[in-house]
Structure 1
Amino acid sequence: MNKNLPNLVRPKSLDDFICNDELKLIFENIIKNDDFHSFIFYGKPGTGKTTISFILAEGLKASYDYFNAAIDNKENLTRKINLNKILIIDEIHRLNKDKQDILLPYLENDMITIYATTTENPYFKLNPALRSRCLIIEIQKPSTENLALQLKKINKQFNFNLDISDETYNFLALQSGGDFRAAINNLDLLSILSKNKKISLDNVKKIIPQIQFSADKNQDSHYDYLSAFHKSLRGSDPNASLYYGFIIVKSGDFDGLFRRMICVAYEDIGLANPLMGPNILNAIAAFERIGMPEGYLPISYAILSLALSPKSNSSSLAGSKSLNVINSGKIFEVPNFLRDSHYKSSAKLNHGIGYKYPHDYENHYVKQDYLPKELKNEEFYKNQLQGYEEKIKLYWSKIKNGE
């Protein structure tokens, strides 16, 4: 019905722009105070980065133009900078070095204001010199409620006359993954394909069955999910761990998922449950053996095992502390009684002399100092009394102290 409905309904004023109250206040003050600071707007596709750039440029009533870093050439960049007070630069992460070299002097001398948009994390993808001359604002995805409300307005505004329930509007909003453009396009598709103006949720699911989902493993949002997964496991939250874990499954990054799971087993669980590492490797092997879709079974088992296990990072801390001591240069001679004594002449050097063989003693233990004398009182490992580790503490207390 409408060839480019998202463009037709693109907000033209700040009142119609969807964002939180704090951001709206910032944008209002930019226009109110004739503020010509340069901004980088960062966020996922369809969140309104380019839209707010145009709204601000219009609101400041200054000459402006649009430049796409992916396809426009440097001659266009120079011409548009010289003819305008504001330049909107889409996909600034694609701005190559030649174009950056042209742009930077204008920014340094306040000869141009830019509103740059990017789906990539500017702290990872942009030249620091360029980034430091701009303020960075992250544009968040609109809420499901806001998206559903906007879809209702569009249905009425363009006389689609679609009879859609609130549940169906919410499904369309959720299905878009927070991408406003995707949500509008799906509503437009329904208006074209639906012969019956009464649209049931089941019909919508048949027409639009697949959730919009960004599965780009190079985007920082993917690493946010990996981070949230790891921290949810460490925090012993089984529900959040399953949620973030299966988002990563949906992205297809099984290597990233399994790497985090193995790390948690050894970093965050460790001696509290020493069998967790082998158990996770077995679950991964089972997944690789049966594949998807049944592969979700060992993945679910492994995620819950990690989340619900007692936690201890004593082994991680012990390893880190010992490495720090070594890296600080504290590398000393091995005590003579611990040195290699398998060859005949070793005794002439006092190597191995005085070593007590623990298996010759009661409980297979005998007290002797193993660290170099310079580190005699150094303590790398501290028991955290968690899970199985508590049993280890009780065992050695009994053996060493007779408790």
Structure 2
Amino acid sequence: MSAPLADRIRPQTLDEVVGQTHLLAPGKPLRTIIESGQIPNLIFYGPSGVGKTTLARLIAGQTNKKLYKLNGTSASTADIKAIIDQVNTISSYQGILLYLDEIQYLNKKQQQSLLEHIENGNITLIASTTENPYFYIYNAILSRSTVFEFRPIEPQEAARAVTRAFQKMEEELDSPIRLEEGVAEFIGQACGGDVRKSLNTVELCVLATRVDEAGGRLVTLETARELAQKSAMKYDRQGDEHYDLLSALQKSIRGSDPDAAVHYLGRLLEAGDLLSPCRRLLVIASEDIGMAYPLAITIVKACVDSAVQLGLPEARIPLAEAAVLLATSPKSNSSYMAINQAMADIRAGKGGTFPRQLQNKHFDGAEREVKGQNYQYPHDFPNHYIKQQYLPDDLKDTVYYHYGENKNEQAAKAYWDKIKK
């Protein structure tokens, strides 16, 4: 029992793999590819503990190729070269299958060293990564591989694996194991779709439970609660889940769903991340609420300042107030769109000059026919407005800002339509 339970109970067939039915159900493309025996270069992308390594090992076992395994966190250039040197040798005359776990940790040069050999078929690559492959894997490797995305395991599927794990522990210990009602379901739910953590929790629960007078063990729900690792609440602040949570928070607020907004905010805060949601809420106030409720940014800033001063766990209270306020506020992205379009013109090289009346000059050269700056001070005119050109000549008729269809902006539009006639 020296190896972790997750390794001792690892599936031996495709049908034993938990979850990933979108890839492995009969008739699905990946299963069909595996059953054909003709394995192309594959990249498995998804969170930890969802079966990427297990499936790669199952595939390797079905081929006649020489199998090599490397982990990107520890593999060196010499390790990769040693495998390449085995190409076309007697021991690998049927080809090499390289299983490369955590490929995102290899640098570009290391990945490039494999390129020639996976292209000509001397090496078949099966790589796994927890990070978005389109950001972390060399494009030439991607173009020669097929990417399959693995999903977190659903709680009911995880509970099935948990039940099997308790049965395995019972066999190994040769001692009856009884579960309080709801233990398997709780562990499957609490470990957030990570089967490996679910199985580790099973092992901990069994080892932490005393043998009773009858020679058995009763695993209680309280023990499961104490030992379950809440991986759904933990995440790498530099990884995909960090940005997925921030994206989900903003899209929920933009979609005016306060319940989803506080859920994703809660997940960020439960992971101990205070700064990221503070920054994102400030962005949302201007990007998605904007001119429909301009005071939102002021209120959100006050909530953020309070949260930073309070620290966690109390910071959750003003931040929840900010999230609910933004989710239930009217929405407008008119100013956001205006600045984006203006900056697009600037990047395109437009508007490099200034109208003469806007310049900070009071001297005209001899070549200028019309003398004087000719700036008209709006406060000297009725309603503090006088029509004159402000945009550069090549953009003078451009309209960037379009009034949003909300009460606040429509009131402003009506006012200026009347003044400007």
- TM-score for both structures, normalised by structure 2: 0.85
* SS of structure 1 residue aligned to 2:291: helix
Q: Is the 8 A contact 1:47 1:142 kept in 2?
A: yes
Q: Distance in 2 between matches of 1:373 and 1:70?
A: 57
1:213-228 pair list within 5 angstroms: 213-228=233-248
1:87 corresponds to 2:93: no
Q: Runs ≥4 in structure 1, deviation > 6 angstroms?
A: 341-345
SS at match of 2:44: strand
In the other structure, the counterpart of 2:120 is 109
The aligned amino acid for 2:84 is T
Partner of 1:33: 36
2:56 alignment partner, one of 53, 58, 62: 53
Equivalent residues of 2:180, 2:218 under 8 A apart? no
Distance 2:360 2:109 in 1: 63
Which among 377, 385, 397 is matched to residue 357 of structure 1? Answer: 377
In the TM superposition, what is the alpha-carbon distance from 1:208 to its structure 2 partner? 3.9
AA at the equivalent of 2:340? S
Q: Distance in 2 between matches of 1:327 and 1:261?
A: 28
The residue identity in structure 2 corresponding to 1:194 is T
Q: Distance in 1 between matches of 2:68 and 2:356?
A: 78
| Alignment-derived partner of residue 266 in structure 1 | 286
Tell me what 1:194 maps to: 209
* Residue 77, structure 1, aligned to residue 92, structure 2: no
Find the residue that maps to 1:67 and give its secondary structure: strand
Q: CA deviation at 1:199?
A: 3.4
2:195 paired with 1:180: yes
Q: Is the deviation greater in 152-161 or in 273-282?
A: 152-161
Give the match's secondary structure for 1:65.
strand
Q: Deviations over 1:140-182 (max 9, x none)?
A: 1111000001111222344264332452222111221221111
How much has 1:362 moved relative to structure 2? 3.3
Q: Distance in 1 between matches of 2:3 and 2:396?
A: 78
Distance 1:369 1:142, change over 3 A: same
Q: Is the 8 A contact 1:41 1:118 kept in 2?
A: yes
Which SS does the other structure have where 1:194 is aligned? coil
Secondary structure of the residue aligned to 1:259 is helix
* Counterpart residue number, 1:11: 11
Q: Does 1:323 align with 2:352?
A: no
Identity of aligned residues (%): 32
2:247 and 2:203 mapped to 1: Cα distance?
A: 36
Q: Secondary structure at the match of 1:377?
A: coil
Letter in 2 for 1:277: I
State the SS of the aligned residue for 1:87. Answer: strand
Deviation string, structure 1 residues 32-73 (Cα, Å, up to 9, x no partner): 322120111122111111110111122335442323333342
* Alpha carbons 2:48, 2:194 under 8 Å: kept: yes
Question: Given the alignment, which residue of 157, 180, 185 partners 1:146?
Answer: 157
**Pairwise CA distance, 1:295:** 0.8
Q: For residue 4 of structure 1, what is the amino acid of its counterpart?
A: P
Following TM superposition, by how much is the alpha carbon of 1:342 offset from its aligned partner in structure 2, in angstroms? 6.6
Q: Secondary structure at the match of 1:258?
A: helix
CA RMSD of aligned residues (A): 2.9
* Contact 1:280–1:302, Cα closer than 8 Å, also in 2: yes
Q: Could you tell me which residue of structure 2 aligns to residue 230 of structure 1?
A: 250
Spell out, residue by residue over 1:189-213, the C-alpha distance to the aligned partner (whole angstroms, 9 max, x if none).
Answer: 1111112633332342234475564
Q: Cα–Cα, structure 1 residues 136 and 343, in superposed 2: closer, same or farther, change >3 Å?
A: same
Residues 385, 328 of structure 1: alpha-carbon distance in 2 compared, 3 angstrom cutoff: same
Matched, 1:289 2:309: yes
> CA offset at residue 331 of structure 1?
2.3
Please identify, of 87-96 and 361-370, the stretch whose mean Cα deviation from structure 2 is larger. Answer: 361-370
Counterpart of 1:21, as a letter, is T
Q: Deviations over 1:119-139 (max 9, x none)?
A: 222212222222222211111
User: SS of the residue aligned with 1:141?
Assistant: coil
Structure 1 residues 375 and 186: CA distance shift in structure 2, 3 A: closer
AA partner of residue 64 (structure 1): L
Partner Cα separation in structure 2 for residue 80 and residue 71 of structure 1: 20
**Pair 8,374 (structure 1): closer, same or farther in 2 beyond 3 Å:** closer
Higher mean alpha-carbon deviation, 199-208 vs 226-235, is at 199-208
Moved more, 213-222 or 292-301: 213-222
Residue pair 1:69, 1:92 contacting (<8 A) in 2 also: yes
Which has the higher mean CA deviation after the structures are superposed, 314-323 or 203-212? 203-212
Conserved in 2, the CA contact under 8 Å of 1:27 and 1:56?
Answer: no
Q: CA deviation at 1:294?
A: 0.8
Which ranges in structure 1 are unaligned for 5 or more consecutive residues? none
Gaps of 5+ in 2: none
- Aligned partners of 2:47 and 2:151 also within 8 Å: yes
Q: CA, structure 1 residues 384+212, in 2 after alignment: closer, same or farther (shift >3 Å)? A: closer
User: Which whole-Å CA distance do the structure 2 matches of 1:308 and 1:143 have between them?
Assistant: 31
Other structure's SS at 1:380 match? coil
1:40 partner SS: strand
Of 329-338 and 314-323, deviating more is 329-338
